[in-house]
Structure 1
């Protein structure tokens, strides 16, 4: 946290660093200055930590207004932590799939090429465990295979989209009122 005083500012709670990278990239595309607006994007190290972050940062803690971005399978943790339904923006099934879906296969692979990873992806596709998977499954899995890759591509894939093509949960969590 950037040291917001009690009752001032807001926070977007996200599961991890890749989600934070995508939110920050989306904010840039949308022309939203989150930091200037007093909004911190807080990676929690997993959705199961949301209750602790709500307690520390929300109305009974630091007094920040909270909203969250999560995968469909994790929404229950956000709701149980006390975030209202309208403050939780849900990626279906997850952020990587939302970004790959918004870009499509050709543009996603073009981003891999621009980032110097297309050759590695082609080798990855030839592994026995990957051969029978769909291209969506291969792309999704590839993004999580190396430390730091998921975070890097959270920003790279989001940045490759025009603002009007950002997945709704990503766009809406950035534009939500503070």
Structure 2
């Protein structure tokens, strides 16, 4: 827990490590010192765990103020856990798609090239299961194919954007009042 006493701080609940990496990168780009502001970013290992984290960290637990970042398909878990609508920031359909859309295909390819993964991605595109998919679907799937890649690219894709081009849910969850 951040802060000196129970209730002193905020927790941003995110689904996983890639979301945490993107939030921390966005905070840096936006000039927001989350730790200095008493904000911790907590990966839950999936949205279905949100109720447990709300109980442990929220008003009935550690007393932290809570907000969350989630995929559109996971909003119901945050609602059932009791987070108010204005505390939940929703990525449509998910954070990776938001980042890829904000970057566009050319800048995403440039990021893959800079990371040394463009040739690997081009090989991936030629696999029979990928040939019929759109470029957006291929990129999205590629990010999740290797352990750690999704987390790595959560930070790398976010850092490739100017602060004013960060997807709205990512920008807003970082800049929400504590």
Other structure's SS at 2:32 match? coil
Match of 1:67 in 2: 67
- Cα distance in 2, alignment partners of residues 154 and 122 from structure 1: 20
How much does 1:129 deviate? 0.3
- Cα distance in 2, alignment partners of residues 156 and 123 from structure 1: 21
Match of 2:126 in 1: 126
Match of 2:152 in 1: 152
Q: Which 5+ residue runs of structure 2 have no aligned equivalent?
A: none
Residues 20-169 of structure 1 mapped to structure 2, 5 A cutoff: 20-169=20-169
Q: Which 5+ residue runs of structure 1 have no aligned equivalent?
A: none
Other structure's SS at 1:23 match? helix
- Cα distance in 2, alignment partners of residues 4 and 64 from structure 1: 12
Check the 8 A contact 1:4/1:38 in 2, yes or no.
no
How far does the alpha carbon of each residue in 1:56-89 deviate from its partner, in whole angstroms, 9 at most, with x for none?
0000100000000000000000010000000000
Match of 2:18 in 1: 18
How much does 1:7 deviate? 1.2
- Cα distance in 2, alignment partners of residues 139 and 4 from structure 1: 43
Check the 8 A contact 2:2/2:39 in 1, yes or no.
no
Check the 8 A contact 1:66/1:83 in 2, yes or no.
yes
How much does 1:177 deviate? 0.3
Check the 8 A contact 2:11/2:40 in 1, yes or no.
yes
* Structure 1 segments (4+ residues) deviating >6 Å: none
Check the 8 A contact 2:125/2:138 in 1, yes or no.
yes
Check the 8 A contact 1:29/1:163 in 2, yes or no.
yes
Provide the alpha-carbon RMSD of the alignment: 0.8
Other structure's SS at 1:177 match? coil
How much does 1:3 deviate? 6.5
